[in-house]
A and B are shown apart, each in its own frame.
Chain A
Amino acid sequence: MAAERTVNTSATGSTAAVHVDTTAKWFLLSAVTYFFIVGIIAVIIAAKFVWPEMLGTIAPLTYGRLRPLHVNGMLFGWLLAADMGLTYYVVPRLCGVKLWSEKLGVATGILWNVIILGAVVSLLAGWNQGFEYAELPLVLDVLVVVAWLMFGANIFGTIYTRKYQQMYVSTWYMMGTILWTAFVYLTGNFATLLTTGVNQANLNWMYVHNAVGLIFTPVGLALAYYFIPKSANVPLYSHKLSMIGFWSLAFFYVWTGAHHMLHGPISQWLQTIAIAFSLMLLVPVWSVVYNFFATMKGHWPKTRDNVQLKFLMSGVVFYLLTCFQGPMHSLRTVNAIVSKTDWIPGHAHMAVLGAFSFFAIAGTYYVIPRMFNVKIHSEPLANWSYWFLMIGGLGFFVTLWLGGFWQGWQWNNPAIPFIDTVIALKPVWIVRFFSGIFMFTGITLFLYNIMATVVDSGGAKAEVQA
């Protein structure tokens, strides 16, 4: 099929444009650095569940200020920045032309770093707007919009000047991400300011839900659609199936925000709509996952000595699981048990870390050696980073599900005093902390390997010159 050819010819074609990649490099290197720094914050807040007094008398380091720093840092400092960096790499290759403007790209990268540093300062100082995922002060929100417009202009500029007429799936998902993010972000960060109470909460959840569903999901899938066939060196199984997945995602996702307030003070009919559409999400998810599995059929042994494929295919499995949990949580009976418990962070981390960060890590491991024209510094170390992240991640997800389910069960028996349900969860939080140490070790190895690869490339160049 034509689309399958596109993904292959774009990188191997002898007439392919010469890519400079300065923008992609800067986005990725800063993203990986934030992944590590924010990882430290993550471990600290996990520790605070076990030792609540730790760093407790220093206001900027209290739980309520570090948690938004962890969430925003991981979402915008690491994941979105890495996704943007990889988009700057992938789209020009799929279009067979250079990035529309490398200068604009570098300026976007600088602005993005200014935003992240501003976010660190404001969140530690407690300048928090009080909306989940939209904590940042208004000035920074405006800068995010500007950066997003610069990013969008560059990517669409590249797409409109493309050499290959047919656009591959990854390109659609990246375009979708840029378009939808604009509306979703404006709703969550600006429209909310004009409203109060339940109306505001409804807009807030529309944003929170779609920040994952219409930002991280489509760009994450774009990466999986590009890097799975590339890494396994096989064509994508079905173009048609990828279309079904894309357009059903575009239509179904946005309806589901109110499932964050099931049983809460929001109209019943809206809850029911959110539940119905949450169930329909199984369509885009299963069509995408089927496509990936069918692509890999007969090629699974390749995952053995290919770190990118390990991350990618584990990410696909986590994606399948997390997107099965989501619709199930929105059933009223299940929701009555798991909602507001520790199950939820278990679920959220499987999506954002287990699926989408794994895709971004795989992409980074794939593109950094290619952009810097060297081999990865150490294959074994990359393998270790996978196993640490995988084992730590599983420990984290599984204990929080078991613990959260048990917690919800206890809450539903009002004879049990609340504090007993807190004390009962202590072993769970201890395991979560140690799983966090594992994940952090994986992140550290990842950072080290990437940076060492970049340093290696400098050495290689020096030798050539001498």
Chain B
Amino acid sequence: MIAKSDKNATIFIVLAVIFFMIGGLLTTVVPPLVDRSWGKAFENSDPAKGPTGKLQPYTEQQLKGRAIYVREGCWYCHTQQTRTLLADTKRSGWRGVDSPVSTPDEFVYDNPHMFGTKRTGPDLSRVGGKYDAQWHRTHFKNPRDLVPGSIMPPFPWIANNEEDFQAMVAYLQTLGRGKNWRPENDFEK
């Protein structure tokens, strides 16, 4: 068959599509059918089974903040995944407590997903509750006022638009909060 494919275009087309489709279907359609946790929201009330908590759908305000996050391309510089690497769990951690790793069930309400590919800035998967709104306002106005040496761009049009700013902070404060992992519920507002 393959030997004939360089003389007969129809045989070629059929083979090229079949070759591609085997891997194509097995790696896209099959995985969510096999691994149900991809589509089920995180929920656990038994501390013996790891972190407790329940993933909540986003409110309208949080979705608005999320849309700004997408629009401004924050995701080109920030990832949202605490990987199965010791350093990641420490960097996402809080006051000496390591953060749990990210699992698929924490992201079922994310559309578009914001996992990201590049860490020009720190990972934000557990940033919810790390800073208060005032910190974020100053940071958006000029990141270098708070963190000298930062290369994050200023976002005055977010900081100076009250509605947008509140929405953005509301979204950022949800990140990583499905799992209730910080001792004594110690989260900034």
Give Cα A175 to B6, complex, Å.
Answer: 11
CB proximity to B under 8 Å, residues A27-76: 48-49, 52-53, 56-57, 59, 62-65, 67-68
B residues within 8 A CB of A255?
Answer: 23, 26-27
Give Cα A52 to B149, complex, Å.
Answer: 10
- A131 CB-CB contact with B under 8 Å: yes
A175 touches B155 (CB 8 A): no
A residues within 8 A CB of B154?
Answer: 52-53, 56-57
- A331 CB-CB contact with B under 8 Å: no
A199 touches B111 (CB 8 A): no
B91 touches A411 (CB 8 A): yes
B23 touches A167 (CB 8 A): no
A196 touches B147 (CB 8 A): no
Given contacts A128-B70, A265-B81, A344-B118, contact A3 B6 (CB under 8 A): yes
B87 touches A59 (CB 8 A): no
**Contact among B12, B27, B39, B155 with A254 in the assembled complex (CB-CB below 8 Å):** B27
**Contact among A59, A131, A196, A260 with B108 in the assembled complex (CB-CB below 8 Å):** A196
Q: Range of interface residues on chain A?
A: 35 or more
- A419 CB-CB contact with B under 8 Å: yes
The stretch of B44-52, B98-106, B130-138 in contact with A is B98-106
A residues within 8 A CB of B59?
Answer: none
A202 touches B28 (CB 8 A): yes
Given contacts A68-B73, A187-B28, contact A340 B118 (CB under 8 A): yes
Given contacts A131-B112, A277-B23, A414-B91, contact A172 B119 (CB under 8 A): no
A59 touches B91 (CB 8 A): no
B110 touches A197 (CB 8 A): yes
- A204 CB-CB contact with B under 8 Å: yes
A197 touches B113 (CB 8 A): yes
The stretch of A8-16, A245-253, A389-397, A431-439 in contact with B is A245-253
In the complex, the number of residue pairs spanning A and B with C-beta atoms less than 8 Å apart equals 222
The interface bits of chain B over 141-175 (1 if a CB of A lies within 8 angstroms of the residue's CB, else 0) are 00110011111111111000000000000000000
CB proximity to B under 8 Å, residues A242-270: 243, 247, 250-255, 257-258, 260-261, 263-267, 270
B residues within 8 A CB of A378?
Answer: none
Chain B CB within 10 A, most for which of A160, A257, A263: A263
A266 touches B151 (CB 8 A): no
**Contact among A62, A63, A200, A341 with B119 in the assembled complex (CB-CB below 8 Å):** A341
A residues within 8 A CB of B152?
Answer: 52
Q: Please report the total number of B residues contacting A with Cβ < 8 Å.
A: 77
B106 touches A265 (CB 8 A): yes
Chain B CB within 10 A, most for which of A56, A130, A165, A429: A130
**Contact among B7, B39, B75, B91 with A130 in the assembled complex (CB-CB below 8 Å):** B75
A247 touches B2 (CB 8 A): yes
- A462 CB-CB contact with B under 8 Å: no
Interchain nearest-CB distance for A65 vs B (Å): 6
Interchain nearest-CB distance for A446 vs B (Å): 28
Interchain nearest-CB distance for A320 vs B (Å): 23
Give Cα A162 to B119, complex, Å.
Answer: 50
Chain B CB within 10 A, most for which of A132, A206, A344, A414: A414
- A146 CB-CB contact with B under 8 Å: no
Which single residue of chain B is at the shortest CB-CB distance from A345? B118
B27 touches A264 (CB 8 A): no
Question: Can you list 17 A-B pairs, Cβ within 8 angstroms, ordered by A?
Answer: A64-B77, A64-B153, A65-B72, A166-B6, A172-B5, A183-B24, A196-B111, A197-B109, A202-B27, A202-B31, A264-B115, A270-B35, A336-B85, A344-B118, A345-B118, A414-B86, A422-B120
* Top 4 A-B pairs, shortest CB-CB distance: A64-B73, A130-B112, A414-B90, A197-B107
What residues of chain B have their CB less than 8 Å away from a CB belonging to chain A? 2, 5-7, 9, 12-13, 15-17, 19-24, 26-28, 31-32, 34-35, 38-39, 70-77, 79, 81, 83-88, 90-91, 101-104, 106-122, 143-144, 147-157
